[in-house]
Chains A and B, each alone.
Chain A
Amino acid sequence: MSTEATATMEIERMPSESKALPPKPQFEPLKAHEMSDGRVQFRKVSVPPHRYSPLKKYWMDIYTPIYEQMKVDIRMNLKARKVELKTRPETPDISNLQKCADFVQAFMLGFDVPDAIALLRLDELFVESFEIKDVKTLRGEHLSRAIGRLSGKGGKTKFAIENATKTRIVIADTKIHILGSFANIKIARDSLCSLILGSPAGKVYSKLRQVSARLAERF
C-alpha cells in the first residue's frame, strides 16, 4: 500500500510529520438496506376505520407505485389494521421509505390517491394539520356553522381555495389537513383561518384572487 495510491484525495503532503494521517476514506453511499447495520427498516401506518374500505378499493393504485417505482415492500396487516412498509435490497434511497410512508399516511388522512401521489413525486410537498379549536374556540352550532363556512355550498369554497393555491384540503370534522408546498399551505391556511374566524366567503374569494394573480405573475 503506497501513499500515492490514495494521494488523489491528498493535495499536499505533510512534510516532517512523523505520524502521517490516514487517507480520507471514500465510501459509497449506504443503501437503505444496509442502514442500521444491515437490518431492514420498517414503517407502520395505522388505518383508521373509515379509511378501511377505501383502502381496499384503491389498494392496487397504492401498491403499484410503491412497489414498482419506489422499490419498497408494502403489505396490509389486517389483524393489527396497519399498513407496513419495508425496505428491500434494491431500494435506492432511504428517503423512499419515508416518502412512501408519507404517501400512505396522507391517504389515511383522507387525501385521494392522485393527490397523495404528488408526495412521492415531489420533494417539497408537506401535509399540515390543525384543528378548528386551535384557531377559535367554538361550540355546538357555531362549530357546525364554521365547518359549513369552510366547505361552502357543495364544497365550492374548499375547491376555490384548492384551485387558487394549488393545494388539497381535507376537512375531517374538526380537523383540517392541507397538502401542498410550503407557501401554498400558508396561503390556504390563512384563508381557512379567516373563514373560521367568521369572514364571509366573498371576502376570502377576493383575497384569493389577488394572491393567485400575484402567484401567477411571479412566473
Chain B
Amino acid sequence: MVTPVEAAVESLRQISTEPPVWLVPKQELSQAVRAASKLLFASLKPHCTKSPFDELLIEGFDAEQIWQQIDLQSQPLLSSLRREVKKFEKHPEEISKLKVDVEGGKKKVLEEIETENVVVNDDDDEDDDIDMDEEDEDEEEEGEEKEKGREEESENEGEEKGGIEDKFLKIKELQEYLEEDEAREFGTNKKKRKAETKKHEEDTEDEEEEGDDEENEDDTDEAEEEEEDELGLFGGDDESDEDDLGNARYEDFFSRKKSKDSEDKAKYRDMLEEDSGSDDEHVDKKVKNQRKDGLSKHEKELDELRSKIEQMEKANLDPKVWTMRGEVTAAQRQKNSALEVDLDFEHNVRPAPVITEEVTASLEDLIKTRISEGLFDDVQKAPTLSSKAPREVKELDDNKSKKGLAEIYEEEFVQKTDPASAPLTFSDELKKEASMLFKKLCLKLDALSHFHFTPKPVVEDMSIQTNVPALAMEEIAPMAVSDAAMLAPEEVFSGKGDIKEEAEMTKADRKKRRANKKRKFKAKAAKRPRANTSVRNSDEGSKV
C-alpha cells in the first residue's frame, strides 16, 4: 500500500522533472503541489504535538501564508528531531532497539530522500526565476529539503550530542583526558593517556571558529597543556632534589641545573606552539622516567615549593629586566623593546580631538546659534581713561569767509585784551545749542516723571513767524483736504491796481508802463554818482 507520503512524493517528482514547465504559471501545477504539501503536512502531524493547525489550509491562502503554516509546524519538529538524533548518537544501542520494520522503512525513506535531495537541488538551481505562484511550491520543497537534509546529516555524522559539541569538541574525550591528567599527577599511570592527548591535539590543530564553544575548547586545551608543562618541569627538578632537600649546594643551583633548566625551558617554549605534538610526547616521557614512585603528597608539595623558591631566587640574582631597572637609555635595552611594553607617561598636550560627524554637527549648531543671537566673542577695546579734556579740533573751513580780514583781527584783538566781552565763537554757539536741546529734553522727562505740573520755560527767542492765520481753528477734515492752512488771495498776491496780461494791454498801458520804468531808473541813477561832484571840481570839464 502506498502511504500518502509516498504518493505526495511521487506526484512531486512527476511534476518537477521538466523545468520548462515552471516558466508559465499553471493552475493544475499549483493545485497538485498544494495537495502534495497538504498530504506531507498531514503525515508529519502526528509527530509534532505543538502545532496549532490540524491540517494545512490551502483554499484561499497565498504562498506566504501557506509557508508560514508549514514553518510553524516544522520548527519545533526540527528541534525535536535534532534532539532525537543526538540522543541516538550518544547511545547508539538504542537505534537497534527500534523496530526493524520502522528502521527499514526509515532507511528506505532516507534513500529516497537522498535521491530526492539530488533532484530537488537541481530543481532549485533551475527554478530561480519563476513567478509568485510557484514560490509557495518552491518554499515547500525547500522546507522539505531542509528537513530531509537535517536527517541526512545526522545519519552521516553518526554521533552528535547536545548543542555545544560538534566534531571538534567532544566532551566525553575531554572528561577522559582530565581524569587521566589527574591520575598522572597523583601517581597513577595510564598508558592510554598519550594516545588520547595526541589525538586531542591533532583535533585542535584544525582551526575553525564556530561559536564560543570552539574558543572555550581551545582555552581548556591550552590550560591543560600548560598544566602538563609545569608538571614536566617539576618532574625535572624532582630528580635532583629528591635526596638533597636540605643540602643545597652551588652546583645544585648553577652548574648542573643550568643545562637542565635551559633544556626544559626550550621544551616549554616548544610545547606552547600548536603543531608540536611530538615534543610534548617527549617531555611526557621524560617526566615519567624522572619521577620516583612513592612520593607522598606532602613531599610533592614541598618539592613544588622548593622549585618555586629556587626559581625566584634565580630571578633575583639574575640581572633585572630593563623595565625594572630604573633609568634606562635606548642603548641599554634591546631594539624595539619599548614598543612591547605598555609605557605609562603623562602627556602634556591634550590629544587631538577625533572629528566625528557629531562633533562637526555640534560645532555647526553652536555657530548657527551664535550667529542668530549675534553673540560674537569680539574683542572689545578696553576704554582708556582720558586724563585731559579733549582738544577742540578746529575743522578747516573751505568756504569763503564772511567776515573781512579786519573784523577777524579785531575779534582776535578783543579776545586777547578782554575775553569777557569777546563775541561768541563757533564752539560757544554749539554749546549754547546743545544746552538748549538738553533743557528741552529735561522738560519733557520731568513732565513724564513728576506728578506736579511744571510749565514750559519762557525762552526769549526772536524768530520769524510764517504766515499763519490769527485764529488757527482745528478742522475735523484731514489736513490735505481742509483749507485751514490756505492763504487768502491778498496774502498770495500783493499788487496794486488792475493787473493786465501782456496781450491784454492797450497802447496807452504800455506807454504808461514804460514811463514808470524810466522814472524809476532815473531816480536810481541820480542817487549813485552824487558824491563825485564835490571833489572833482577842476576836472569836471575834461570828463571822458
Which A residues are within 8 Å of any B CB, using their own CB? 59-60, 63, 74-79, 112, 114-115, 117-118, 121-122, 125, 152, 155-157, 159-160, 162-164, 166-168, 179-181, 205, 208-209, 212-213, 216, 219
Contacts and interface: CB of A to CB of B under 8 A. Distances in A.
A203 to B, nearest CB: 13
16 contacts: A59-B532, A63-B531, A78-B543, A114-B405, A115-B404, A118-B405, A156-B399, A159-B399, A160-B398, A162-B400, A162-B401, A163-B398, A166-B408, A180-B405, A212-B396, A219-B412
B409 A156 contact: no
B388 to A, nearest CB: 13
Contacts of B396: 160, 163-164, 205, 208-209, 212
B394 A216 contact: yes
A162 B401 CA distance: 8
A78 B544 contact: yes
Given A76-B536, A118-B409, A162-B400, 17 more contacts: A74-B535, A114-B405, A114-B407, A115-B405, A115-B406, A117-B405, A118-B404, A118-B405, A121-B406, A122-B406, A159-B400, A162-B401, A166-B412, A181-B409, A208-B396, A209-B393, A219-B412
Contacts of A79: 542, 544
A219 B394 CA distance: 14
| B interface majority secondary structure | loop
| A interface majority secondary structure | helix
Interface in B288-319: none
Contacts, number: 80
A206 B232 CA distance: 104
B404 A112 contact: yes
B398 A156 contact: yes
Given A159-B399, A162-B401, A75 B535 contact: yes
Contact of A152 (B391, B398, B409): B398
A76 to B, nearest CB: 8
A219 B544 contact: no
A160 B539 CA distance: 45
Nearest to A79: B542
A143 B48 CA distance: 122
**Size range of the chain B interface in the assembly:** 20 to 34
Given A63-B531, A78-B543, A121-B410, A166 B397 contact: no
Given A78-B544, A159-B401, A205-B396, A166 B409 contact: yes
Contacts of B543: 78
Contacts of A209: 393-394, 396
Nearest to A205: B396
A213 B392 CA distance: 9
A168 B404 CA distance: 9
Contacts of B11: none
B394 A213 contact: yes
Interface string B406-423: 111110100110000000
A177 to B, nearest CB: 13
Contacts of A163: 396-399, 401
B526 to A, nearest CB: 15
A213 B393 contact: yes
Contacts of B398: 152, 156-157, 159-160, 163
Interface in B231-277: none
Contacts of A157: 398
B394 A212 contact: yes
B416 A219 contact: yes
Nearest to B539: A78
Nearest to B544: A78
